[in-house]
């Protein structure tokens, strides 16, 4: 492991942990040690299943879809370019947070997960490793 990879590794791990926590807030069942691709798949599911009655649904969906693209880019890069991978992970976190903010503006008082939990009871939701 080169020095740059070693320096980026803790930040990458923190970013993946934060993304996993964010997925839990959206109502997803997150595995103990999720991969970036798994997080991207779950976030893509969330983006496609936002409540129709959200005032800022389009903005939240756009943010989530952008976060998914950043996660997919990070997954494709793997460990080849650690700084670029970390950059994509951080951008994904920013876009996910923006989506939660968009959702919170139009939600009554519930977490984003409230709607998705009801949906999950009726439909299949990705919950683990593929």
Query: Does residue 17 register a pLDDT over 60?
Result: yes
- pLDDT, one tens digit per residue, over 50-105 is 888 777 888 999 999 999 999 999 999 987 889 999 999 999 999 999 998 888 77
- The reported pTM is 0.77
Higher pLDDT among residues 28 and 114, named by residue: 28
Contact by Cβ (8 Å): 15, 64: no
Query: Phi and psi dihedrals of 93, rounded to 5?
Result: -60, -45
CA 77 → CA 24, 81, 123, distances in Å? 25, 6, 32
């Amino acid at each position: 492991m080169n020095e740059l990879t070693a320096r980026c590794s803790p930040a990458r791990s923190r970013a993946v942990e934060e993304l996993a926590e964010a997925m839990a807030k959206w109502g997803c069942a997150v595995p103990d040690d999720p991969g970036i691709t798994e997080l991207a798949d779950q976030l893509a599911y969330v983006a496609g299943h936002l409540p129709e009655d959200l005032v800022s649904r389009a903005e939240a969906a756009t943010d989530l879809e952008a976060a998914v693209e950043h996660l997919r880019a990070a997954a494709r890069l793997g460990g080849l370019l650690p700084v670029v991978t970390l950059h994509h992970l951080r951008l994904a976190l920013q876009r996910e947070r923006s989506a939660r903010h968009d959702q919170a503006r139009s939600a009554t008082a519930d977490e984003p997960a409230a709607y998705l939990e009801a949906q999950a009871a009726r439909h299949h939701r990705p919950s683990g490793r593929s």
